[in-house]
Structure 1
Amino acid sequence: MGASRAGLLRTRFLQPSSLQIATAALFTVSASTLPVYAAKGSIDVYPPNWWVGMESPLVELMLHGDNIANKKVSVNREGVVINAVTALDSPNYLFVTLDISNAASGELIFTLTDDAENTSNINANNEAGSAKVSHSSANSSSNLLSYEFSYELQPRDSESKSREGFSAKDAIYLITPDRFANGDSSNDDVAGYRDIVDRSNKGGRHGGDIKGIIDNLGYIADMGFTQIWTMPMLENAMAKYSYHGYSTTDFYQIDPRFGTNADYVTLSEKANEQGVGIIMDMVLNHIGSGHLWMEDTPSDDWINNEGNFVATTHKRESLHDPHVIESDIEGFSDGWFVPTMPDLNQKNPHLANYLIQNAIWWVEFAGLSGIRVDTYSYSDKGFLSKWTARLMSEYPSLNIVGEEWTINPAITAYWQAGSHRHDEYVSALPSVMDFPLQAALTSALTQEESWNTGLGNIYETLATDFLYGDPNNLVIFPDNHDMSRIFTQLGHDIDKWNMAMTFFLTTRGIPQVFYGTEILMANPDSSDHGIIRSDFPGGFKQNSDSAVNAFTGEGLSQDERWAQQRVKTLLALRQNYPNVFMGEMKHYAPHDGVYTYFRRAEEDDGSMIMVIMNKQEAKVSLARYSTMLSKYTQATRLSDKTVFGVDDTLTLPPMSATVFVVN
C-alpha cells in the first residue's frame, strides 16, 4: 500500500509552447520534491490527485502557474464535468471545480489555452466543453501559452468511508518527531533548507524523523499505546525554529528532514500492523511566512489584515460573550500569533475548499485514524462548521479533536458536537482537548485539602460534564507539548505523578501521554518549549551523549523504570477491559480527603474498575460504596493482585491512587 499510495503523488505536466498545444515530453513531480514553487512554464496542482466514489461529487483544483488566469480549461475525459473556472486577484492561479459523480478512475488530460486559439479538437471528448474563466480583477496578460497536464482519479478503497477513528478504548502517544528518534541521519540536513541540525540548540532541529518512529513502533505498542499523534510533519521551510512543525509552507508535502510522503504512508501501514493508528496534527489557522502564498497570494483577502501582522487578542471569550463588540471577535479571529505565522482568512471560499480537501486528502492518502486540529477556535467559526461537517460526511466514524485552550468547560463544550449551546451554531466536531480537567487535577494535587480545595476540584470539574455532547470522547492528558511536564508541575514528586497518571489513564475520556512522561521526563529549570521537548533517551544513537536508553531500559533510574512499568500496567488494564473504558463513569463526592470513582461497561460484562485517590493516610470502608458494589464479591488490587472482600476496610497510604478490578 505504501508504494501505491506514494505513487498517487505524481502529477505530470507538458511544457507549454507558444500558440500551439505543447508536444514536449512529460516530466514527473515526485512526492519527495523540495519546495513546490512552480518553475517558470509549469503548473502545480492541488490536491495532487483525487478519488472517485467520495461522498461529495465535487473537487476544486487549485492551479498555479505563470499567467494562467485568463486561460480556457478543457478536459479529455467523458463523465468529468467542469462546473466552474475562477480566477481571483493573482494572474498565476486558476480554481477549477470538477463534478466527477459519473467519472471512472483513471488519468485525465487537462488543456489550458488562450481565447484566441482554436480548441475544437481538444474539447471533442470533453462533456462540459471548455469552461471560460470568470474573473475578479485578474491580470489579463496570458503570453499566448498553452499548457497540458495529466491528473489522476483513483478508485477509493471500499472500506475507507467506514474507517474507525480513535475512541475511549484507545490511548494516544504524543510525539515531537524531531526529538523522539533519529532513524535516518542522511536527511538531517537537506539542501535548500536553512534550519540545519544542531542538537546543542534547544530551539533548533535535532534530527528525529519518521524512520525513528517506525524503528520504535515496537516500544510504543508494547507500552500499550494504540494511537500515535505527532506534532506536524508537513514542510516547514523556515529559517529557524522549524522543528515544531506549526509553520506550514506546503500542505501536501512531508518535510524532507522527516522523510517523504511515502515514508509517512509506511509509518501508517506499519503502525496499523501493530494495532496502532495515526492521528495527524493539522493547522487550519495559519501558515509559515515562508509559504509560497506570501510571495504570490491567490487573492487580496487570502491572508487576514491584508497580509500585515496584527496580533490576535487571544480573547476566545469574545466568541461567546452576549455583550460583545464585533471588533473584539475580529481581533481574536483575524489576528496573527506572531509575524512568522500569517493568519489565514477561511471566509474566502476557495481557501476554505483548499483546507477541507487537504484534510480529506491526507485521511485518504495516509489511512489516518484521526485528526488533531491546532488552535481550533482561532479559525473562522463558519468555516469550522463546514470543515467538520464535510469531514464527518466523508468519514462518519472518524475522530477529530480540536485544541481549545481554556479552563472554562462551558467554552470547551461549545465546540463539541451534541453539546448544549447558547446559540444556533452547528458543530460536527467529535472531540475537544479537555484542558479544564488537566487544570483541575494539578490544582487538586498541589493544594491543601479542605472543603473547597484539593480533590474536590476534580469532582467539581467532572460534575460539569452535562455541558458536553459526549464527555467520554474528550481527549484528556496530564501534560502536552505546550506546557511543563507533569512531573515538574507536581514538584518532581513521584507519588503525585503516580496519582496524576493513574487518574488520567482510568477516568472518563481518551488519555493522551506526551513522549517521555512515562519515564519522568522533566523541565526543572526552564519553561522553554525546547527544553520541555527534549530528546528522548536512546533515540539519537548516531552521536549519543548519554548511556540512557528508554527504549531498552538501559541506564534508567529505579524511579524511571518503576514509572515506565506503572504506565504499561495501566495501559494493559485498558486493553484488557475495553468495554469498561468505553462505558460509564460513576463517582462519589470526596469524603474525608478520599475521592472514589468507578468505570463499568454499559452492558454489565461481570467486571468493573474502582479507583480510590487520597492525599492523607486513610482507612476506607468499602461498605460505603455498596450502591456500586452490591452485585460483586471481591476487589483485586491491580498493583499486587491482593484480593479484598467488598465489605472490607482498607488502609491506604498517603498520596496514593489505588486501582482495583472488581468481580
Structure 2
Amino acid sequence: MKFPQILLAAAGLLLSFASSATPGFSGPAVVTEAVAKAAPTIRIDPTYWWVGMKNPKLQLLVNAPGIGNTMAILAAYPGVTIESQQKLESANYLIINLVIDPAAKPGLLKLGLKSGNTYRPYTYKLRARNLDPQRTQGLTQADFIYMLMPDRFANGDPKNDVVKGTRVNHVARDSMYARHGGDLKGIENHFDYFKKLGTTAIWPTPVIENDMPKASYHGYAVTDCYKIDPRYGTNAEYQQFVKAAHADGLKVVQDIVLNHWGSYHHLFLDKPAADWFHAFPSFTRSNYNAFALNDPYGSKRDYTLFNDGWFDTTMPDVNQGNPLVATYIIQNFLWWVESTGIDGYRIDTYPYSNPQFLMQWGKAIAEEYPKLAQFGEAWEGTEAEQAFFAQNILPPVNGFKSNLPGVLDFQICFAISDALKTENGDLSKLYHALQGDWLYVDATRNVPFLDNHDMSRFYSVIGEDFGKFKTGIAWLLTLRGTPQLYYGTEVLMKNFSDPDGKVREDFPGGFAGDKTNYFTARPGQAGEAFDYVSKLANYRKSHPVLSSGKLMQFIPQDGVYTYFRYDDGACVMVIANNTKDEKKVDGTRFAERFAGFSSGVEVVSGAVVSDLQTLRVPAHTAWVVELRK
C-alpha cells in the first residue's frame, strides 16, 4: 500500500489518512469500500507535518488526476492560513502554501478543493513535535561508525524478501546485482555484535524505497522520498529500529541523496513540470569533475555539465535551482528527522548538487536540528578541494560558501592506502593530509575511513598483509575525527571493485544456510582481526584522550610515523614502522610529549615499553602506547 495514502471520495465525503498507511494515526475511516475502490487516489507531500517548527511555512504538493484545476479552501483553524496556491505545468499537481503560527495546536486541518460547483473535502494531520532529549543526538569524535549495506548484511524477516507489486520481486543471492534479502530486522538482530566490536553508530546505505528494475539493492536511486523500501521494512518499523538502537546505546546515521533520484521515481514518471529535472537535447552525463566549481579559469560549460549532467542513465538530475523543488527536498529531510529521531545525515555525491541549494539546505536543517550530525561524500583529489565542501576558512567562490560541518575524509583514506599498499610506502601523504586541517573550521568533524561500498576492500588493497592491516586500524582509531568502518573489514572480507558487486558481498552468517557465521565465531586470522579492532575500539571508548585530546604529529622519518593524542592528564603515542626492517627510533626527538612520563604500555598487546629514549619498533608494526609516569 502506498504510504501515506488519502482516498478521494465523491463530493461531500470526508477524506482521511488510512490508519494502516500512517503509523500512529487513528483518524476516522468514513469512505466505504465501494466508494474507495471507485475514487481516484490523492497524495500529499509532506504526508503530515508538525506544529512548532522554527520555519512556519509549509509547502504541500498535492497530486491527483486533474487536481491542478481546483482551488484549495481551508476551514477556519486557529493559527493556520493558506498563504498562496500555485498551479503547475501538469494538471495533476497543485501547490498549497500554508503558514503555521507558533501558537497553533496539533489537530486535523479541514482542506477542500473547489472546481466549479464541486467541492471535495479532506483532512491533513498536524502533529505535536517529539521533545524527547534522547532523540537526534548527533555524533562526536567519541563515536565509531559501522557502515553496512542492508540488503547484504543480514536477513531478519524472510517475509519481506519478496514484495508483491515491486519491480524486482525475487531474491537471488548468487547474483551480485539482485536483491539478497537483508533488512532492518537483520541489522537490529545484531546490535550486540556492533557493541562487542566497539562501534557506537550504524550507517546503512539508503533505506528509502528504490523500486528500480535492476540493481535496486544499493539504495541510491530513490523512487519515493517518503517511504522505506518495503524489502527492508515499513516506515513504522524504521521508526522502531531507530528507537531500539537508541535504547541499546547505538546511534543511527541515515544515508541520503540530494542530487538525483531514480528514473522510476513517481515525480519523474509524472513530472509536475519539465523544469523539475535537468535535461539536455540528448542524454548527458555529469563530467564528474568538481574542480569546475571553483576553477578561476573554468568554463561555464564544464560548470554546467558537472552540476546538471546526470549521474547515470537511470538517475535523473534533480533541478534544485527550482524553488519548489528545493523546498520539496528540504521539507522531506526535515520530515525524516522529526519522524524518526535519527542522529545524522551522510550526504551522497554532495558536490554534485546546486551550490546555492546546498547552502539553503544546510541552513534549514541546522536551524531545526542543531544537534544533527551532517557529513558529505566529497570524493576529491586534494586537501583543498575536499575542504572546499566543508565549513572552511576560505572565501566564497562563485557565491558558494559551504555550511556542511564535515566530510568523509578521502584524503586520509587515500593516504593510508598509499602508505600501506606497497613496500616502504610513502608516509608523507598521511602527514600532509593532517597538515591540511588548517583549511577547516573544525576538521575533527570529518569522518576518516579505510574503504567503502564503492572502493576495493582495504585488506585486498594492502596485499592481505595482516601487520599492515593492524597498522591501518591503529591509525583509523587514533586519528582525529569520527572513524568509520565498512562492514566485514573487521573479519578481513576482501576483494577488488571490478565490478563493485565484489565488495558488496553478504556478511557470513547473516543469511539462512550460511556455512560460516562470523557473528558468533570467527576462526583463524578473522578472529584475530576482530579482536584487534574490538580491543582498540573499546579502549578508545573508555579513554577520552583518543577522542577529545589534542593531536601532535612529527614529520615521518626513516619510514616511521609518530604522533600523540594528549590532554592535561593523559598521553597516548602512536608510532608505526612502515618498513620491512626493525627500526631503532631516538625517543629524545619526542621530548616535548615525553616530559613527565617514564614508560608506557601498548594498549592492545599489553606489552610494556620500559625505555622511551630508545624505541625498537618491529617491521610493519604500529604501537598504540599509553604513557605512564
Scaled by the length of structure 2, what TM-score is found? 0.93
Matching of residues 383-398 of structure 1 within 5 Å: 383-398=357-372
1:577 is aligned, of 536, 543, 559, to: 543
Q: Which runs of 5+ in 2 are unaligned?
A: 24-36
> Is the counterpart of residue 93 in structure 1 residue 93 in structure 2?
yes
> Is the counterpart of residue 552 in structure 1 residue 520 in structure 2?
yes
How many angstroms apart in 1 are the aligned matches of 2:249 and 2:184?
18
- Deviation of 1:470 (Å): 1.1
Amino acid across the alignment from 2:519: F
- Deviation of 1:580 (Å): 3.6
Q: Name the SS for the 2:431 alignment partner.
A: helix
Q: Does the Cα contact within 8 Å between 2:263 and 2:269 map onto a contact in 1? A: no
> Is the counterpart of residue 427 in structure 1 residue 402 in structure 2?
yes
> Is the counterpart of residue 618 in structure 1 residue 583 in structure 2?
yes
Matching of residues 120-519 of structure 1 within 5 Å: 144=118, 146-159=119-132, 163-195=136-168, 196-305=170-279, 309-421=283-395, 423=397, 424-449=399-424, 454-519=426-491
How many angstroms apart in 1 are the aligned matches of 2:436 and 2:113?
58
Q: Does the Cα contact within 8 Å between 1:448 and 1:454 map onto a contact in 2? A: no
Q: Name the SS for the 1:69 alignment partner.
A: helix
How many angstroms apart in 2 are the aligned matches of 1:588 and 1:326?
43
Name the counterpart of 1:35. none
Amino acid across the alignment from 2:110: I
- Deviation of 1:298 (Å): 0.7
How many angstroms apart in 2 are the aligned matches of 1:161 and 1:85?
38
Q: Name the SS for the 1:626 alignment partner.
A: helix
How many angstroms apart in 2 are the aligned matches of 1:579 and 1:274?
24
Q: Does the Cα contact within 8 Å between 1:634 and 1:662 map onto a contact in 2? A: yes
- Deviation of 1:448 (Å): 4.7
Once the two structures are superposed, residues 468-508 of structure 1 have per-residue CA deviations (whole angstroms, 9 ceiling, x without a partner) of: 12111111100011001000111111111111111111111
- Deviation of 1:346 (Å): 0.5
Once the two structures are superposed, residues 84-138 of structure 1 have per-residue CA deviations (whole angstroms, 9 ceiling, x without a partner) of: 1112101011111111123111121211111x33xxxxxxxxxxxxxxxxxxxxx
Amino acid across the alignment from 1:582: S
Distance 1:24 1:571, change over 3 A: closer
Identity %: 38
Distance 1:456 1:27, change over 3 A: closer
Amino acid across the alignment from 1:184: D
How many angstroms apart in 1 are the aligned matches of 2:242 and 2:365?
19
Name the counterpart of 1:598. 564
Name the counterpart of 2:9. 16
How many angstroms apart in 2 are the aligned matches of 1:270 and 1:170?
18
How many equivalent residue pairs?
608
Q: Name the SS for the 2:8 alignment partner.
A: strand
Distance 1:535 1:157, change over 3 A: same
User: Which is further off, 561-570 or 629-638?
Assistant: 629-638
Distance 1:410 1:151, change over 3 A: same
Once the two structures are superposed, residues 275-294 of structure 1 have per-residue CA deviations (whole angstroms, 9 ceiling, x without a partner) of: 11100001111111111122
Name the counterpart of 2:505. 534
Amino acid across the alignment from 1:262: A
User: Which is further off, 381-390 or 426-435?
Assistant: 426-435
Distance 1:462 1:519, change over 3 A: same
Once the two structures are superposed, residues 286-309 of structure 1 have per-residue CA deviations (whole angstroms, 9 ceiling, x without a partner) of: 111111122210111011016963
- Deviation of 1:25 (Å): 8.0
Q: Name the SS for the 1:16 alignment partner.
A: coil
User: Which is further off, 455-464 or 564-573?
Assistant: 455-464
- Deviation of 1:42 (Å): 2.5
Once the two structures are superposed, residues 402-434 of structure 1 have per-residue CA deviations (whole angstroms, 9 ceiling, x without a partner) of: 101112111110111243245352322111111
Q: Name the SS for the 1:243 alignment partner.
A: helix
- Deviation of 1:550 (Å): 0.9
How many angstroms apart in 2 are the aligned matches of 1:530 and 1:228?
21
Pairwise CA RMSD = 2.1
Distance 1:433 1:12, change over 3 A: closer
How many angstroms apart in 2 are the aligned matches of 1:595 and 1:162?
40
Q: Which runs of 5+ in 1 are unaligned?
A: 1-8, 33-37, 118-143
Q: Name the SS for the 1:495 alignment partner.
A: helix
Amino acid across the alignment from 1:155: A
Name the counterpart of 1:51. 50
- Deviation of 1:592 (Å): 1.8
Amino acid across the alignment from 2:518: A
How many angstroms apart in 1 are the aligned matches of 2:422 and 2:83?
62
Q: Does the Cα contact within 8 Å between 1:277 and 1:368 map onto a contact in 2? A: yes
How many angstroms apart in 2 are the aligned matches of 1:580 and 1:646?
23
- Deviation of 1:185 (Å): 0.7
Amino acid across the alignment from 1:531: K
Distance 1:49 1:168, change over 3 A: same
- Deviation of 1:206 (Å): 0.5
User: Which is further off, 583-592 or 198-207?
Assistant: 583-592
Distance 1:478 1:321, change over 3 A: same
How many angstroms apart in 1 are the aligned matches of 2:20 and 2:315?
28
Distance 1:361 1:613, change over 3 A: same
Q: Does the Cα contact within 8 Å between 1:405 and 1:435 map onto a contact in 2? A: yes
How many angstroms apart in 2 are the aligned matches of 1:305 and 1:236?
22
Distance 1:308 1:257, change over 3 A: farther
How many angstroms apart in 1 are the aligned matches of 2:396 and 2:268?
38
Amino acid across the alignment from 1:225: T
User: Which is further off, 211-220 or 643-652?
Assistant: 643-652
How many angstroms apart in 1 are the aligned matches of 2:304 and 2:38?
37
Name the counterpart of 2:111. 110
Name the counterpart of 1:4. none
Amino acid across the alignment from 1:106: G
